[in-house]
Structure 1
């Protein structure tokens, strides 16, 4: 189907809207990771890292879409360990040991997210004094090299890109629609990246919540790699509820702070 025919096809527009919505939902994890990682850089490099990371994500996804035939083959099992868990309520195995290329990528990405998020949580807990300020001897450790940040962003981009593309393949077989959805989504993420990063930086408690989200996403990726498919709706509903509660806590703290400032003017 050519481009003009796609533009005149209502079903193509419906698929585009659906794919953009899906890409935005799947991209939240990636955006949170980029926000946390870029905030570890010196201030003058943070915006550059976010934009470069998202630009590389766009290039990587478009490149993978041109190899969509190969991407689909990643779902073909490469080897089978020959064991499975106890049967579920309908006789199905509770987990699989026939691993495809996609499963191995998800396992690697999940383990990386677990390692990275746990390391950041450990650092956040161990390098603050009682007043919440970073200890002088650890201020250099809090920052990472620009190249290391970009390398880690690329690694997660690859995992999330393959996962989102395989999801998109089940919704449409028109590559131009997929490319348009990716371009629109990454454009929206570029607009949202700086405000999200600043919001997280201004509210330190959100950093811990975001890191906990990354731990959960890592576990979901690992479970998916073993064939245990956790509905994404449950995951994002839990994340949304937690974020809403934390937002109420932030509003409450800000109001108390303003009330104290008004009651005790300098």
Structure 2
């Protein structure tokens, strides 16, 4: 009985840790958007815009995650979602520049609106990834967001600086997304028959996914440099 409880607790903790990791890797740009959208406001207005905009963005993410959780019950959607996450993992490694422009606002309402809209557009991949990791558990998603979003907001500059200084962290993040991609694909019930022919599929497929993403990303970046 104790072993079963320990196993359940570890699965819960692992899911929360992965959700936080995905939020930190995929959410750095969101923090930059928050800063850019509110930079023309006075100091007290910036704080209000950040708190209000972030609160609404979190609420929107939870609602969006609820929709994604429902969508993941549709046949073959988990396969499609897993392939999309694989693309996101690869894109994270080969994306050299971010041309996204965010206009700063001069009013509290304008800044909050910009933050919420931009966060919605930029959070689709994030929400899909954490919905996959949570095994369609909305409570886990809320816990992960509650822990990671404040870290992203107040530590965004530090996070981005570390990621730029140590590229290996970006590869670790891409590997985490690639792992989530394979895990989501493996949950596709209509593919279980085919996966059953693969020995240790729950270990082999995520490993292959991570290896392919890292090799393709590294090869592309080396070719660009040369």
* Larger helix percent: 2
Larger Rg: 1
